[in-house]
Amino acid sequence: MIITLTSWLGIAGAVWYASFWLSRNGFTGLVLETRVG
């Protein structure tokens, strides 16, 4: 199974985005952001 560079960037971006919201707003902020989209 080969994962493309784009896929890796997408995964890394999602992880960074989640970490950013966790550090800024905490778990509640992350949940709210996810629901709002």
pLDDT (0 to 100) of residue 23: 78
pLDDT (0 to 100) of residue 12: 92
What pTM did the predictor assign? 0.48
State the virtual CA torsion across 26, 8, 36, 29 in degrees, nearest 10. 0
pLDDT in tens, 1-37: 677 988 989 999 999 988 887 777 767 776 777 777 5
- Give the structural domain span for 6: 1-37
pLDDT (0 to 100) of residue 34: 74
pLDDT (0 to 100) of residue 1: 61
